Amino acid sequence: MRFELFPEYFPDLLAGIPMMLQLAGLSLLLGFFLAVLLAVLRTSGIRPLEWFVRGYVYVFRGTPLLVQIFLIYYGTGQFDLIKQSFLWPVLREAYWCAIIAMTLNTGAYTSEIIRGGIESVPWGQVEAAKACGMNAWLRFRRVVFPQAIRQALPGYGNEIILMIKATSLASTITLLEVTGIARKIISQTYAPLELFIMAGAIYLTIVFTVTRIVDWIENRLSPELAGRRHVDDAEKDLASVH
C-alpha cells in the first residue's frame, strides 16, 4: 500500500464531486417530474397510456444503465437525420447524453415507486374528496400526492443512492467525475487499489449524508413513525437489560 498517494491525489478526486453532484442532481430532478407523469398515466385507467408506460418501464428497468448510456452517446450519431436536426448540439455532448440516459432510467424506476405510493392511498379518502366537490386535479394535489410521497420516500431514498453511485458510469464516455479522475490517475500511477479506496471513501461519505437527509425528511413528514421507532428502540433496550 502506497500511503503517500493519499494526500497527494485525494484533492484531485475531490475536484470531481461537483460533476458527480450535477449529474445525479439534474437527473434526479428531471427524472422525478417524468416519473410523476408516468405514474399518473399508469394509474389513469386509460389502457393505451397504461400499456405505453408499462412498455417504457419494462425497457428501461430491463436493460443496464451502461447500455442505455452507450446507445444514446454512440448510437444517436449513427443517424444522419439526428445529426442534421436541432437535437445534435445536445446529443453530441457526453454530459447531456449521460443526463438523458440517467433521467430516463431513474424516471422508470421512480414511476413505479410513486405508483405504489399512489395505490396505497385509501380509496375512502379519494371518495371523501369527491364528495367534497374536488375535481381530479385538486384531489391529486391535496389528497393523493402528499400521502403518496410519504409512502414512497423510503424507496425513493434508495433510488437517490443508486443514482449517485451510477454517476460512476459516466466516466465511460469521457466525463471526469470522481471515478473518471481516479481512472485517469491510475493510468499514470498504476495504483488502482489506493485510488479506488479514496474514490470509495468519497462515495461512502456522500451516500451517508444523503441517507441522513432522507431520514430527517421522512421524520418530518411522518413524525408518528419516528415516535414509534423511538418507542420500539426503547422497548428493545429495556428487554436487553432484563
The pLDDT value recorded for residue 134 is 86
Low-confidence ranges of the chain (pLDDT < 70): 223-242
- Sign of the dihedral through C-alpha 61, 66, 69, 75: negative
What rounded mean pLDDT belongs to the chain?
Answer: 88
Set of cell numbers at residue 169: 458510469
Cell numbers 487499489 label which residue? 193
pLDDT at 140: 86
Query: How much is the pLDDT for 76?
Result: 86
pLDDT at residue 82 in the model: 87
